[in-house]
Amino acid sequence: MFSELWKPIKIGNLEIKNRLVMPAMGSNYAGRDHKFTEKAAWYYGARAKGGYGLLITEYLCVSREGLSGSRQAGIYDDSFIPGLKRVTDEVHAEGGRIFAQLQHSGNQSSRQASGAEAVGASSVPAFNNALPVHELTTDEVRQMENTFAEAAIRAKKAGFDGVEVHGAHGYLVSQFLSKAFNKRVDEYGGNLTARTRFACQIIRKIKEACGEDFPVSFRISADEQVPGGNQVEDACAQAVLIEQAGADMLNVSFGSTVTKTPVQPYMVKPGFNVHRVEKVKRRVHIPVVGVGRINDPALAESLLVSGSMDLVATGRQSICDPEFPNKIKEGRLDEIFTCTGCMQRCYYSESYEDPEEGVSCMINPFSGKEKRWVINKTDTPKKISIIGAGPAGLEAAWILAKKGNEVTVWEKEKVLGGQYRLAAVPPHKQDLAKTIQTYGALGTKAGVQWKLGHKVTEEELKEMDAEILILAVGSVPIVPRIEGIAQDHIVKANDILAGQQILKDRKVLVVGAGLVGVETAEFLLQYNNHVDLIDMIPEPAPLLGKAPRKLLLEELRRGGVTFYGESKVVKFTDDGLIYEKAGAEKELMGYDNIVLAFGSRSDKTLEQAAAESGKKVYSIGDADRAGDAKKAIYEAAELALRI
């Protein structure tokens, strides 16, 4: 099964054992000295051990003034070689191959990190970093070519199997390729061939410095997604020139960090970039890597069978599950942690558990904690009862059972998942259901006993045959004491998402514009409802990540949703409500239904009985303190490792 994935392929003279690639992604596992830490070696080594044929490091800056941030990894002098070698040694010990990605941020460089003025193909500033840019002189451009070649020599000394020149996402090499940013009038600017000269010269100089047998990959954006920037036909023509310059592989990406990020959230369909990759592949004769939310084995296989690409890069999926290749090859598909495109723990550093920690995953917090979070067999197995089979309960269950404990999970519903199943109901979020399926499969294989369709009473809890009780009962919707709230036409958001209340062709007002409220509004739009939102907060869904929030709000605007912000509900009426804003009372009328999405509070109904049971008691997830799934799953894993 999935036989195409396991066919070896040559990049230049280097054989790669399969077609699965971990592409370059920031890990935050470099220190403030820009050197890789030991955690970085463990992080990359885990993906090699997990079966990826080729790994490509996150961007390594070739010159200090090109740094993009305070913890970007560097390769701009020989002092970086020992740390880089630690990474390559770890990867090679696990049977993998690894390329170093060479990068310079150009006009996107961080003045704070580098302490220097940014340089660029021309003086045009980045859209997201509008500060003065020094246009490189012709001699400086030639010196920058040498700088990339010198970095490649360091990569070879550090044991890398090849390098990748980062010519995508709006960084320096991309700026030379781009019609939007390259406004030069010398030999490096003007027509398409001249704009590609810098990239081609870098490749030639790397080959001269490192030898023809040292593979060079080139990453290119097939569509920059910037005003006046390169589109797919530009990329196709430039790809031909880049191959002729000596590149051994093309890595075809999308977008630019200054506008539309190449990392796309769950609203964007898996494989969204395939049609662009196909166009580039038809123009060249070297292997082509394709990217674009590829998170499913069948999708990856189909892209190889169709000839859309030669190798498949599964970026965020490799963060979500380092063992993705091995699980496919061994037929353990039900154990795969599937990237949901939530971006909650892999993309925004402010969402990390600890600012000094690196990248991880909402549904798999073991990611990024390699050799630190390890499931070891316990010497003192215990009987453990977990009440509630939401994500926190399920995560704790499989880990505790794998450690050798006797684990029983009690769930009032007849299926696993708790309220997390409702999170999979809004449009584009179906992959969340796979998470529950995976936790269930891991639990069953580890020996968890499931008691479904059984609501535990206080007396049962006190008498339960267990040494440890874990309360993972989740939360219940908040229904505040507001006049008129008990009317029949007023329903809860959870009941809408659970299919217990069906609204179609109605005029609906959703009260509460947090994530549940806005996603319920989005869901209701599918059934030809006219939907509006109201909340005390100034903007809807403030805690959602920037990229998914932008797309979600765009969808609500297209659906004609009006948002009434900074508005406090005073009273519900027969067809609407009265609210207060800026000290004045106003009314919204003419609605068929009102949907409550005030948030949730911890379910404490079993807390007292658990305390009186004489057993060791823990509360996790919403049962402890209402929050998001990221918090619940992390707490569950941390507790299970500690018990």
Catalytic residues: 171
CA atoms within 13 A on the CB side of 472: 37
Alpha-helix residue ranges (DSSP H) falling in 452-606: 458-463, 493-497, 515-525, 546-558
Output the six-digit token pair for 635: 């707490």
- List b or e across 155-167, with b for residues whose CB sees 16 or more CB atoms inside 10 angstroms: bbebbbbbbbbbb
By CB neighbour count within 10 A (0-12 exposed, 13-18 middle, 19+ buried), where does 485 fall? middle
Residues 508/529, Cβ–Cβ less than 8 Å: yes
Residues 206/217, Cβ–Cβ less than 8 Å: no
Residue whose C-alpha is closest to residue 339's, from 438, 432, 440 = 432
By CB neighbour count within 10 A (0-12 exposed, 13-18 middle, 19+ buried), where does 209 fall? middle
CA distances from residue 391 to 252, 406, 439 in whole angstroms, order as listed: 36, 19, 8
Rounded CA separation 129/149 (Å): 27
Residues 620/632, Cβ–Cβ less than 8 Å: yes
Residue 404's contacts (CB-CB under 8 Å, 6 or more residues apart) are 377, 378, 381
Ramachandran class of 528: left when φ > 0, alpha when ψ lies in -120 to 50, beta otherwise: left
Residues 66/341, Cβ–Cβ less than 8 Å: no
Output the six-digit token pair for 488: 């029949």
Rounded to whole angstroms, the maximal C-alpha distance in the chain is 83
- List b or e across 6-22, with b for residues whose CB sees 16 or more CB atoms inside 10 angstroms: beebebbebebbbbbbb
Q: What Rg, from alpha-carbon coordinates, does the chain have?
A: 27
Alpha-helix residue ranges (DSSP H) falling in 429-541: 432-446, 458-463, 493-497, 515-525
| Phi, psi for residue 427 in degrees, rounded to 5 | -55, 145
Residue whose C-alpha is closest to residue 515's, from 485, 545, 538 = 545
Residue 97's contacts (CB-CB under 8 Å, 6 or more residues apart) are 14, 16, 17, 53, 54, 55, 91, 161, 162
Rounded CA separation 441/338 (Å): 13
Question: Which residue has tokens 């794998």?
Answer: 402
DSSP class of residue 615 equals S
Residues 20/311, Cβ–Cβ less than 8 Å: yes
For CA atoms 294, 295, 298, 304, give the dihedral sign: positive
How far is Cα of residue 401 from the mean position of the Cα atoms in its chain? Answer: 28
Rounded CA separation 551/558 (Å): 11
